[in-house]
Amino acid sequence: MRLLLRMLTSLAVGALVVVFIWRFSPQEADAPDPSVAMLADCTGALGATIACAPPSESPPPSKAREAPCPQCGQDENFWRSKTSKPPPELLGKAAALVDAGCGRLILGKSPYERLPPASLVKMATALAVVDAGRNNDLVNVTINGWDLSAEDGSSIMGLEAGMQMTVEELLWGLLLASGNDAAVQLGLYLGGEQKILDQMNQKAAQLGLQNTQFRNLHGLDAPGQYSSAFDLTVIGRAVLDQPLLSGIVSTQFHQTTWNPRGLWNGNWLMYIYPDVKGVKTGYTEEAGGTIVAAAQRDGRLLVTSVLNSADVYWDSLRLFNWAFDNVKDVC
């Protein structure tokens, strides 16, 4: 009897296998239902249904963000299409005049030539410091600005070891007094000079600058450190777009708690030209006089940069007045 039962069971199983093969033969089967396939994938042991998510599509490969190219498509003689009045003769070796509303280069004099920028480097230093997001940090000052001044003639804000002040207060000294001591102290506090320097060069790349390379945080002459008049107008516009930095560079005088004399803006345009909005000046023996300046009239903002000039203020004033009076509807 047991043998008979085993034989009947084997026959029944064999019949089921034949039916299964016939039903699901590739030649006869219907196109698989995606929902059934998904359900099959979600079936656990002993046929128990388990929770599973529907298959997700692979995300498309992300595109690398392309850097802008502010230099592309520019014409250093664009002014000719707007006026017949020629621009003033300049004392500077290189210059660029830009309408900040759209970044259009109105006039250029060797605008892409690589030249030492002197303390205009500090604009990039300030941008890197602000990007660090630690403006309210309290810094224990460890350097003496007067030692730097005696060593290489550095311009200083007057730091002395043992002082305490915030990163923001150091930024005021960096941009108003053009303090090399502020630049050095900020580098020390924020991870070392090289770290900030790398961030400055990364920022230059992000802005699409093609003729700029930084080698220190303060702008003293150094091999391989250069920028161009045009690139510096781009950096100047970035400073003006940053609320804290824009407020600093457009201020004539800043009262401090650590020095009753306060800090005066070293950009003399702030006192002689009512339309001026900043930004920064510089000087070294190799660089000569350098400036990035901004002026606004009737809602229109112009930014100029002059390098290696015997009188950066004279050059800037004449460029602004000529452009405001003669070059209209640029953007």
- CATH class of the 78-326 domain in this structure: alpha beta
Q: What one-letter code names the amino acid at 251?
A: T
pLDDT value, residue 54: 45
| Rounded CA separation 119/175 (Å) | 9
Name residue, tokens 């990364």.
202
pLDDT value, residue 2: 46
pLDDT value, residue 114: 98
pLDDT value, residue 64: 52
Name residue, tokens 């030692």.
147
pLDDT value, residue 47: 40
1 CB-near residues (< 8 Å, 6+ apart): none
Could you report the per-residue pLDDT of 100-109, keeping only the tens digit for each? 999 999 999 9
Q: Which DSSP helix (H) or strand (E) runs through 180? A: helix 180-189
On whether the CB atoms of residues 174 and 183 are closer than 8 A, the answer is yes
| Rounded CA separation 314/173 (Å) | 25
pLDDT value, residue 241: 97
On whether the CB atoms of residues 270 and 276 are closer than 8 A, the answer is yes
Neighbours of 13 (CB within 10 A): 10
User: Which positions are catalytic?
Assistant: 119, 122, 178
| Rounded CA separation 82/237 (Å) | 23
What rounded mean pLDDT belongs to the chain? Answer: 86
1 pLDDT more than 60: no
Residue spans of the domains in the chain: they are 78-326
DSSP notation for 45-72: GGG-B---PPPPPPPPPPPPPPPP-TTT
Side-chain half-sphere of 199: how many Cα atoms within 13 Å?
19
pLDDT value, residue 66: 73
290 pLDDT more than 70: yes
Q: What one-letter code names the amino acid at 198?
A: D
13 pLDDT more than 70: no
pLDDT value, residue 65: 64
Could you report the per-residue pLDDT of 173-186, keeping only the tens digit for each? 999 999 999 999 99
Could you report the per-residue pLDDT of 76-92, keeping only the tens digit for each? 999 999 999 999 999 99
| Rounded CA separation 101/280 (Å) | 20
**pLDDT range class, residue 311, cuts 50, 70, 90:** very high
Percent of the chain with pLDDT over 70: 80
**6-10, 86-90, 271-275, 322-326: least confident range:** 6-10
